[in-house]
Structure 1
Amino acid sequence: MTEHLMLLTGASRGLGLAMARQWVQTPGRLLIALARHPDAGLADWAQQHGSRCLSWVLDLADAPAAARVLSDWLAAQPTDVFASATLLNNAGVLSPLGPIGASRAAELSNALRVGLEAPMLLTAAFLRGTGDWSARRAGTVKVLNVSSGLGRRAMAGSAAYCAAKAGMDHYTRAVALEEAQHPHPARIVSLAPGVIDTDMQVQLRAGDPAVFPDRLRFVQLKDAGLLDSTEAAATKVLAWLDRADFGAQPVADVREG
């Protein structure tokens, strides 16, 4: 029981890819990278550092199917093979910017499926599948949900994304209360990672001011050099995951220490 397991969604680019690459740099780790288009170099990178990486090609917009894949895989694992197990729900979708009345139903639905339904179903499958694992008795089963400040402060023009992240925060609070009733609880946190220089920021800066009034704020953040690189943000998120008090505060922000 020496290998450490992480299941990571959205692992093919941006913050997810940076976290994947950093996490497998420590030997003895198994990363399951979930993405529609896996990064071809992750497996070799992990092997170079004494770890392993398996890529699952999954579309989280079909959350029940993704959860079934996870459930089946967990059920096939010995209960005492992993020293720790972590689910890191990182994937999210920012639908086209603008008022909800002008949004397409399919775009709103996709943002909520990927950003909220999938994390909930994967969390349920993960907690169920690890319920009798040795890692659960050791207190080393964790769920980390990558949230956003926009789940705590509404923004016009991005209702679906704000709703998904607010829902993520609140379901995390509820699951933390549920797990506290168990003799060997999993620990769960919904963590805002700060403002990061990703494709999502490019999308925000390119928004039409007529339908996205906050556009200038994101332009100013970029111009002032206030965006974290994906590598810096990944380091902060993974450091939070390793905190001894992980889970004591179920909804948190890396900028609040």
Structure 2
Amino acid sequence: MSKHLTILTGGSRGMGLAMGQQLLQKGHHLLSIARKTSSDLKPFTSKSEQLLQWEQDLAQSATAAQRLRTWLTTLKSSDWASITLINNAGVIPQIAPLSQLPAADMINALRVGLEAPMALTGAFLGATEDWEVPRKVLNISSGLGRRAMASQASYCTAKAGMDQFSSCVALEEAAKPHGAKIVSLAPGVIDTDMQVQLRSASSDDFPDASRFVQLHSAGQLTSAQDAAERVLAWLERADFGAQVVADVRNP
């Protein structure tokens, strides 16, 4: 079969939307999981069955994972040439020191940014374990998972955890006959709503705010479309999975 299936979280805006559009243009079948469906994906489909969108709150990770596992068990592996999960969704809570951050905001950020990717990855791998076609998991990480930053404890922790769980899962899958390949990839600095949040924050709350203002002023932000293209190119590399914790800026 020549059909390729990609499951993408956070595909309704930003780089996630751009990845979804580019995957559809390439002829992939796409399941987009986000809080809201996006009409911006539909023009890129050549046939209605190519795109499926779920409205799903990823903070309810157990529900999302069970929904994915149940759906995957309805598919036949023989219908597909490959299957891929891209954990892209994430949130930045209120930009503030942890001592001033509402616990609910911190918990939501960790649920969406770390708990959901782990739960979805477990569901994906479990439901497709007997598939003999190539299976890949691409986790969208961040340089902030590898570099501490004040007033970003929740986001940095979620991304650091993503790197670490990817490394653990890579060891588990390497021991299996048809184990999946997994990569936790930092996509670079992208011109998205997240960047607007960071450079708009008060320097009293966020000491690094000026750095993000300078990145924007100097034109050093990658567009969502270009970032998506670079990330998807990494996904197609013949050595995908050889380097589990990776950065598009360091090929």
TM-score (norm 2): 0.98
Shift of 1:40: 1.6
CA distance in 2, matches of 1:51, 1:249: 34
Aligned position for 2:135 = 141
Say if 1:76 and 1:51 are closer, same or farther in 2 by CA, change over 3 A.
closer
More moved, 193-202 vs 179-188: 179-188
Of 62, 75, 84, the match for 1:86: 84
**Alignment: residue pair count:** 251
Identity across aligned pairs (percent)?
Answer: 56
Aligned position for 2:20 = 20
Aligned position for 1:69 = 67
CA distance in 2, matches of 1:134, 1:177: 18
CA deviations 1:20-65 (Å, max 9, x no partner) are 00111113x21000011111231342127x9711001101000000
Shift of 1:81: 1.2
Aligned position for 1:105 = 103
- Give me the CA root mean square deviation: 1.1
CA deviations 1:149-202 (Å, max 9, x no partner) are 000001000100000000000000000011111111100000000000000000
CA distance in 2, matches of 1:173, 1:37: 31
Gap regions ≥5 residues in structure 1: none
Aligned position for 1:234 = 228
Aligned position for 2:51 = 53
Aligned to 1:217, what secondary structure does the other structure show? helix
**1:245 aligns to 2:239 (yes or no):** yes
CA distance in 2, matches of 1:200, 1:79: 37
Of 102, 108, 115, the match for 1:117: 115
Work out whether residues 131 and 178 of structure 2, in 8 Å CA contact, stay in contact via their aligned partners in 1. no
The amino acid of 1:23's aligned partner reads L
CA distance in 2, matches of 1:230, 1:186: 27
Work out whether residues 132 and 178 of structure 2, in 8 Å CA contact, stay in contact via their aligned partners in 1. no
TM-score (norm 1): 0.96
Aligned to 2:82, what secondary structure does the other structure show? strand
Aligned position for 1:127 = 125
Work out whether residues 9 and 86 of structure 2, in 8 Å CA contact, stay in contact via their aligned partners in 1. yes
Work out whether residues 9 and 33 of structure 2, in 8 Å CA contact, stay in contact via their aligned partners in 1. yes
CA distance in 2, matches of 1:171, 1:111: 17
Shift of 1:134: 3.0
Aligned position for 1:33 = 32
Aligned to 1:190, what secondary structure does the other structure show? strand
Shift of 1:80: 1.4
Aligned to 1:143, what secondary structure does the other structure show? strand
Shift of 1:68: 0.7
CA distance in 1, matches of 2:112, 2:169: 19
